[in-house]
Amino acid sequence: MDLMDGAMKQQPKQILKTFNTKEKPMEVDISKNEEPRQSTPQKERVLSTEYAYCDQNSNLCDGVRIHPEFQKLIHPLAKEELSGLENNIRKNGCLDPIKVWKGYIVDGHHRHQICEKHAISFEVLDMDFEDECDVNIWMIDNQLGRRNLTDAARIEYASKKVDLIRGAAHQRQEDSRFQKGNDLNKLDSKTRSFFERKKEKRKILVNAAVGAIAGVGARTVAKYNYVKKHSDEDTLKNLTEGTLIPFGNKGKKKKLSVDGLYRELRAKEKNIVQPKENMIQKSFTVSANRHSNCDKARPEESQVRTITREDLPTEDLSTRIITHPVAELSKYVDPSSIDVIITEPPCKEEDIDLFDHLGDFARHALKAGAPCVVIAGNRYLPDFIEMLHAHLDYCWTLSLDASARRYEAPSGSIIKLWKPVLIFSKGSPQIKTFSDVKESIENIVHTFSNGGDAICDPFCNHGEISKICVENGRSLIANDIDISKTEALKGVLL
């Protein structure tokens, strides 16, 4: 029998057919009284033309198979990546073996597809696993080792792995006495609240485990789960695959992010939940009594966010004070009429999209080459820059002295020494030379504007920037969505 095996190894082409993906029995040379080969030994590389395996009925078959469930675990390659891989294989051959388990491919689906397309032989490596669960976990770990995965794809893989690991234990937990016949709603409120809190705590622990595997925070996992629940299939596909989509007014493209989609969906949800009468309100004459009544009738946030008005009357023709959302500000400011924008928008996570609206307005209102100077926060600085850069050209970053401002932190109050000042421009910048030192708002006004220039502050708030502009002989357009603040500013400036 040893001599027979040696003869088989020397003349494999007389025994096996040319590699084919379809399952069929291996041909045997009966004239030599040779027995069929058994399944390929584990952990041994063989050429695709020599690979054989035993199916469920113990029939010996040649070729490799595609398992639909295994194939679903594979993150699809982008067109550029797939094209590059194809060119490399056609030029150098398939250098890495196709890994299989019981004839099913577990690693190398794309390489196998390309080799089949161009009739290129490849090596096969038979892997050894206990069952399909072990195969799935190994495949997920293998995919998580890739560098080009988006956060969404990593979270998807990590979630599947956690589900597989929890497996039987989770099933036993779900088959508790409350799931077998007792309705949870029939329990008393105290017991029901206990199990609801327990369920929520378990959810938090699962998100933390998924985040640890995916390399992201538990909060990002929770955001992705929300996005997955409320988004359509095309959006989720673009998010997971990292597809570039149009962004801004400069023909730029960007990849969707979990945080960005989460903020967008939450904003839509708030607009849907909010009553219609709070969304659109008629213009009215502001008075102290009216404001007090509004405060009693509705929460302050709803009132502030929904009031829109045209210009507040002013005696000084060089000063305009208006109250509008920044997204609508382009309707009330002439195009290419502003020399400088100097402003300090809100900088919380839910305010990131305001920087997108600010960039859009700045591109509309600024003169060619004019600067847009934005005092921003530190925590979400990359998001702020991305939003503005979609509409304007980045120039520089300065630092604003903020040592007098005190902020609260979990461990106590802290003093913030500086805030970033982002300098963008509409096209090629036409601004004076400036030094990169700790600046004050007054220095910023003098550095980026001249006497008589038209300055716009789309987020005037309590008017710190506006007051400095007026005191130094600049024309001013001040805006804020909170009409109480613009009314107070009008009383101070005029």
Which one of 91, 122, 147 terminates a domain?
147
My answer on whether 10 and 80 are in the same domain is yes
Note whether 184 and 326 are same-domain residues.
no
pLDDT confidence bin for 148, thresholds 50/70/90: confident
Domain count, the chain: 3
Structure tokens at 489: 């500013």
The dihedral of CA 249, 250, 255, 260: what is its sign? negative
**Integer Cα distance of 425 and 74 in angstroms:** 44
Q: Per-residue pLDDT tens for 310-346? A: 566 665 668 899 998 998 899 999 999 999 999 999 9
Q: Is 77 helix (H, G, I), strand (E, B) or coil?
A: coil
One domain for residues 128 and 198: no
Domain presence at residue 233: yes
Whole-number Cα distances in Å, 61 to 17, 54, 68, 71, 343:
10, 6, 19, 21, 72
Please return the burial class of 434, using the count of CB atoms within 10 Å of its CB with bins 0-12, 13-18 and 19+. middle
Tell whether 280 is covered by a domain. Answer: no
Q: Give yes or no: residues 351 and 485 share one domain.
A: yes
Are 334 and 482 in the same domain?
yes
Rounded Cα gap, residues 147 and 224, in angstroms: 20
Question: Is 141 found in the same domain as 163?
Answer: no
Query: Which has more confidence, 24 or 478?
Result: 478
Taking the CA atoms of the chain, what radius of gyration do you get in angstroms? 33
Instruction: Find the domain containing 74 and state its range.
Output: 1-147
The per-residue pLDDT for 292 is: 40
Confidence (pLDDT) at 50: 66
Compute the average pLDDT of residues 358-370.
94
CATH number at 342 reads 3.40.50.150
77 lies in a domain? Answer: yes
Last residue of a domain, one of 103, 130, 147: 147
- Does residue 159 sit in the same domain as residue 143? no
Confidence of residue 405 (pLDDT cuts 50, 70, 90): low
Residues 96 and 139 occupy one common structural domain: yes
Q: What is the pLDDT of residues 198-237, one digit of tens each?
A: 777 778 888 888 889 888 888 889 889 999 999 998 888 8
* φ and ψ at residue 274, rounded to 5 degrees: -65, 135
Q: Which of 196, 230, 258 is the last residue of a domain?
A: 258
Q: What is the mean pLDDT of residues 238-263?
A: 84
Q: What is d(CA 303, CA 483) in angstroms, rounded to the nearest whole number?
A: 9
Residue 41 pLDDT: 42
What is the structure's pLDDT at 34?
A: 38
Phi and psi angles of residue 400, each rounded to the nearest 5 degrees, phi first: -100, 130
Q: Give the C-alpha separation, 320 to 338, whole Å.
A: 13
